[in-house]
Amino acid sequence: MASSSTPSSLLADFPLDLGPYESLYKHIHEHPELSLQEKATAELVRSHLSKLPSSPFEIHSDIGGHGLAGVFRNNGGKGRGGGVTVLLRADMDALPVEEKTGLEYASEMVMRDVADGMSKKVMHACGHDMHVTCLLAATERLVRMKDRWKGTLVVLFQPNEERGGGAQAMVDGGLYDRVPVPDVVLGQHVVPRRTGTLSSKVGLVMAGSDNLRIRLYGRGGHASMPHKTIDPVVMAASVVMRLQTIVSREVDPSDMAVVTVGSLQAGQTENIIADFADIKVNVRSINTETRDKVLAAIRRIVKAESDASGAAREPEIAQTSRFPVSINDETVTKRLAASFGEHFGPDFDPAAPRMNFSEDFSALATCRDRPCSFWFFGGTDANLWDDATRRGSVDQDIHINHSPFFAPVIQPTMQRGVDALTLAALTFLR
């Protein structure tokens, strides 16, 4: 590759027809799979990688579940290996959400969730279908321009991101016994911002997260005789309301924390007082001290409300998953910002606010003390975004991740995601 070439100039030399990938995206969107059950998606990825020109990839399947990684060792078309190793990551799993987008390719999938054995509607409500498609397209593009870069490319398709266990499971499943340890780990996420835009920042880019499952024990009985029961619904309602005071009354206003009750379930019918209630709680934080304080407050409140209700037995509190905070390496992120800034111009924001999303992506890097960087690309229709911005109604009118109405506009969202991944890889594969 000529020294005067930049990652941006190379993209112009190697355009890629995204028509087939738009069809592929619709297929993946229409056939989502829950966490830990991404078998068909992984097989689709494996098949696609094996059919790339000259089939240059070593493909490693079933890593930490349905995780898959492809390795392309390239020396500018002159042999194998050498140079930097770059890992690009996409997540594959979907969510237990009933889709309400009205799209012609909307999901009607129903799966039995291995977490609780219940059958649930399934939807790609977080954009992982876009992530998979963008990485497959970027991979083809990088293969087609293999004479213009050298190094080793690892493309990783991760299961079980939504429950926070996929990245570590791949590491524990022998990922780096099967693929080279990367020099840099890179990833991206589609978000409810104006399509065509990208953003990132140095340092803390995403909050950490903890998920808890709480069971409150009452004493069941006939709805007409509440005095002979201990009502776990009333107990749970008190817990939910009291949890809302943790952030407002116990966390420093200059700090950040979120406590969300995402699920409350008790009983089966209206004339029976149940004997237990289940609550699922999500916590977000950006530092260890606040995290510990919030988790301790949750435990204190749950026990106190249980005691106050005369509960039949001690409540159960179990942590179901944990996501670390995500830290973008300064050197890597600044190099990416230079490439993104040259190519995307004012559509790229290199100093965006921190996201309160959480990701397990960084485990792929921190497990081997490697640097990583993560960025975001917008998926909201430009006219819809501009109208909502003018009205001051973005929070009300723009559907967000995990909503049953969330569906990125396909273009130019996909083009931006493909360009970003290709640029990011070429920034280091020189």
What residues act catalytically?
91, 162
CB–CB of 188/374 below 8 Å?
yes
| Alpha-carbon span 117 to 222, nearest angstrom | 28
Side by side, the strands of the sheet bearing 316-323 are 257-266, 276-285, 208-217, 316-323
DSSP assignment of 38-83: -HHHHHHHHHHHHTSTT---EEEEEETTTEEEEEEEEETTSSS--S
Residue type, 423: L
Cα 22 to Cα 28: distance, rounded to the nearest angstrom: 10
- Distance from C-alpha of 354 to C-alpha of 135, rounded to nearest angstrom: 24
Compute the distance between CA of residue 402 and CA of residue 161 in angstroms, rounded to an integer.
Answer: 13
312-318 long-range Cβ contacts below 8 angstroms, 24+ apart: 312/217, 312/218, 312/219, 312/230, 312/275, 313/217, 314/217, 315/214, 315/215, 315/216, 315/217, 316/213, 316/214, 316/215, 317/212, 317/213, 317/214, 318/212, 318/213, 318/214
**Residues ≥6 apart with Cβ < 8 Å to 333:** 200, 201, 202, 373
User: Cα–Cα distance between 228 and 216 in angstroms, integer?
Assistant: 17
Contact 88, 154 (CB under 8 A): yes
Q: What is the dihedral of CA 235, 238, 244, 246, to 10 degrees?
A: -80
Q: Which phi and psi angles does 350 have, rounded to 5°?
A: -85, 0
In terms of phi and psi (left: phi > 0; alpha: psi -120 to 50; beta: otherwise), the region of 407 is beta
Compute the distance between CA of residue 217 and CA of residue 213 in angstroms, rounded to an integer. 13
